[in-house]
Each structure stands twice: as structure tokens, then as C-alpha cells.
A and B are shown apart, each in its own frame.
Chain A
Amino acid sequence: MRREYHKWCSLNLHREMELLVFGHAGARVLVFPTRVGRFFDFENWGLVNSLRDTINAGNLQLICIDSVDAESLYCNWAHPRGRIERHQQFENYVMQEVLPFSESINPERFLIAHGCSFGAYHAANFAFRHPKHFHKVVALSGRYDITQQVEGFRNLLDDYYDQDVYFHNPSHYVPNLTDESHLRPLREMEITFAIGEHDPFIANNHFMSAILWAKGAWNSLNVWPGRAHRARYWRQMLPIYL
């Protein structure tokens, strides 16, 4: 399997950002790490290996990017406005730097957003905000409302709310989408959620699925036994859904 390490200084984030590419061809998969995770987690947790055959066959190419969660939505000491601004910079980095880089090494147009746990939030949020770029999203064990406190998972903006928070919170902006030029590609997208039946965010997954259906956006919500919020479950889910 081809494995490449890349690093450059991001103009949007003003810091060096690293990523790993696995595979030589096929649909491009933008892989977001879990909460405050790193670009190498996907490989270290055996998730790349779970897709080995598909990658080696040239059907998938993974682009495992780094996160700046510790500087953005999980930067607890920063003012929430600063958190969401940093998060927006991360989005700019992905859209303006990572995607062009990905296109430069692989001409395949088909682009998939994928992530587990908080990576699923990123994947869904990117795909729903930029449906013209993404053709498929596979979001495993995710939350899609960053302002909701559920069990020990807090409101990531500490009750702060503004327009940028709204537009990065899929549970809030998706129900209000009306622009057909945005909805049309969203309806063409293949959207897959998977979540454990005892995962604290299962209600939010059902909600997200329902509001997408209400918008005419096809999606598949797959409920797994138990909490299913560990790499060993994701290793089983990935070959099925990706």
C-alpha cells in the first residue's frame, strides 16, 4: 500500500499541518480524526488496515488529516468566539489547501468525508456545508449538535451563540436550508450514519437523519448493538460503509 507523509505551513492556520495519504487511486476519502486526535490515529488504531484490500485494489485513497480541535472547539480556556473563529480557519485550510492538494495527486473526482466520534461531526459538517464538493459522507458514532450538553459531553461553546456557531452546527442549519442550489447536491449525496444503540448521541443521530429526510436528502442510519463507540467497532463498520 502506498503511504505518503506530507507537511506544509498552512496559510490559513499559520502553523505547520501534517497529513498521511494511503493508497494510489480511487475515491478520495477525507478522514477527520476523533476529538483532539492526530493524523496518525487512523493508521495506529488499525482502521487503515481494515480497508487494506479496497485501498490496494485502487478503489479508495485516504487522506488522513490532523485536527486543531485543541485550538478551536475544545480550547476550553479561549473565548467561544475565538474557538469558532479558529474552527473556521480550519475549514479554510481543508477547503483551500487540503482539497486542492488531494486533487493534485489523484484526478478521481469522487470525494468522501469520513470521521469517527468527533471526526464524524467534522465530516458531516463539511459535507453538509459544501455539498457541491462531497459526494458521500460516512459519519460513525458522531454528534451533530455542538451546542447540546449530553451526559458528560458539554456544550462546546459554553452557551455562547452567534451566526458562525449556527452555521457550523448541522442540527441547527440543516432544518432551515431552503436554497435549491445547496439542497440539490445534498440530495444527490450518499449519507451514512452509524451509531451504537446506547451511544449518548443516538437521539441526535435520529434527529439528524429525520431532518435530512425532511429536506429530501437520502440517508441511511444504522444502529449497532451496545455503545459501539470504540475503534474495534469502527474497524467492523468501515469495510461495510466506506
Chain B
Amino acid sequence: MFDWYEDEVRGHEGKLALRAKPELRGRVVLYGSSTLRLWEQFDSHFPELSFVNLAFGGSTLEACAYFFERLIPPCDPRSIVFYAGDNDLGDGHEPNKVIDSLKTLLDKVDRAGLGEIPFAFIAIKPSIARWPLRDKIRKVNQVAEQWMAERPNRHYLDIWPPMLNEHGHPRKELYVEDGLHLSWDGYDVWADVLRAHANSIF
């Protein structure tokens, strides 16, 4: 079922093996789908931060939960910045299924002994390509926001307000041509949101 991601996950595992030195552990981990994986200028946005990007292309929240044990605990992360769910809904999954996957993931975070580190859930973004799915996206985000509020170390990062124009539609300049992935301007907006929470999520 998740064979499609296997190569990229193995690549991350190889990277982690190289990094299994004490000084390379304890970083901020970016985990999730391609929108995070493609944040190539993250080090420019946060030059002071030690991080490792373990997001993998096209991944669903369901796949992130599935591969969690193989990728995240070996890093012994200092915090997790997470983004996924977009592709689950794009694949036609109903919000309840995505919410179930989020619960599975959060349970795995706890079982791995990482329940006390900061966990930042970036809200599923409003995008031009998936604007027709916005009601479903809002439903997942609403539950995620509630769950993140249940613990002081969990954080819901609401990137919706700065990504919408004055008419309430996604701002075109924040996306590349596919209307789904972020442009540099889009990542600048995300960086601003993360910076606003930097003290608690990094």
C-alpha cells in the first residue's frame, strides 16, 4: 500500500544512519509531505536552527503515520514540525479518515517517548488547486486545532489568514504554477508564521 514511498523513505533512513552521531541528534525535524520537503530555503529562513528535513514527496498523513517509527525516533528530535493531510483529501479520503490518521500519528509520537517534545501541526493549507475541498480541509484543521490545544507542547500553526486575499481566496503569488505547492513567497509567509511561534516550537 505504501510501496510508492519506500525509496524515498529508505533514502531518509540512509541519511539518518550517517547522522547517528550524538552531535547530529536532537534537531528539529520537518516531517510530512512534499510541501515541507520542497522547503529548500528553510535554512535561509532559520539560519540559527539545526534541523533535518524528513518529509517525503506526495505523502499522505496516513503514510506519515505508517513510516513514523522508521524515521522519527532514530533522530531523537528536539521538536517536530509537521505538515500533511493535503494529499489524503486530494486522493478523495473523507475528513474522518484523515483525522483517524492524525490520531494514529499522535499515538505513535507518545509511544515513541516523544510526547513531551514540541509538536507543531501546520494547518492544511488553502490552495488554488484544492480550493473546492476547503470545507473538508477546514474540518480536519478544526479537529487538529482542538487536539493541539489539549497539551501545552502541541501547537497549531494557522497559516490560513496570511494565505488568503481580500476576497477570501488563496493568494496566487504564494503558489507555483500547479496551484498547490508553495512559491518562495509562500514559504516566506510560512516562515513568518513559524517565527511567531519560534520560542515554543523550536
Interface, chain A (partner B; CB < 8 A): 187-188, 190, 192, 213, 218, 220-222, 240-241
| Contact between B167 and A187, CB atoms less than 8 A apart | yes
A218 CA to B175 CA, complexed, in Å: 13
Q: List 7 A-B contacts (CB under 8 A).
A: A192-B132, A213-B172, A218-B128, A218-B165, A218-B172, A220-B131, A222-B129
| Residue ID in chain A nearest B128 by CB atoms | A220
Q: Which residues of B contact A187 (CB under 8 A)?
A: 167
* Nearest CB in chain A to that of B92: its residue: A240
Given contacts A187-B167, A192-B132, 14 further A-B contacts (CB under 8 A): A190-B169, A192-B131, A213-B172, A218-B165, A218-B167, A218-B170, A218-B172, A220-B128, A220-B129, A220-B131, A220-B132, A222-B129, A240-B133, A241-B132
Residues of the A chain whose Cβ atoms lie less than 8 Å from the Cβ of B129: 220, 222
Q: Is the CB of B132 within 8 A of A188?
A: no
- A8 and B169 CA atoms in complex are apart in Å by 39
A222 CA to B165 CA in the complex, in Å? 20
Query: What residues on A are CB-neighbors of B131 within 8 Å?
Result: 190, 192, 220
Q: Is the interface of A mostly helix, strand, loop or mixed?
A: mixed
Q: Which chain B residue lies CB-closest to A236? A: B92
Provide the residues of chain A in CB contact with B170, threshold 8 Å: 218
- Cβ of A190 to closest chain B Cβ, rounded Å: 7
Residue B115 interfacial (CB < 8 Å): no
- Chain A residue at minimum C-beta to C-beta distance from B165: A218
CB-CB nearest 10 A-B residue pairs: A218-B169, A241-B132, A188-B167, A220-B128, A240-B132, A220-B131, A187-B167, A213-B172, A192-B132, A220-B179
Residues of B within 8 A of A240 (CB): 132-133
Complex: how many Å from CA A221 to CA B129? Answer: 7
The residue in B129, B132, B170 that gathers the most chain A C-beta atoms within 10 A of its C-beta is: B132
Q: How far is the CA of A3 from the CA of B167 in the complex (A)?
A: 34
A241 CA to B128 CA in the complex, in Å? 12
A222 to B129, CA, bound (A): 7
Q: Mark B164-185, 1 if CB is under 8 A from A, else 0.
A: 0101011010000001000000
Interface of chain B residues 128 through 168 with chain A (CB within 8 A): 128-129, 131-133, 165, 167
Interface centre among B128, B129, B133 (most CB of A within 10 A): B128
Q: Scoring B residues 29 to 57 as 1 if CB is less than 8 Å from chain A, else 0, what string do you get?
A: 00000000000000000000000000000
Question: Given the complex of chains A and B, what is the CA–CA distance between A218 and B167 in angstroms?
Answer: 9
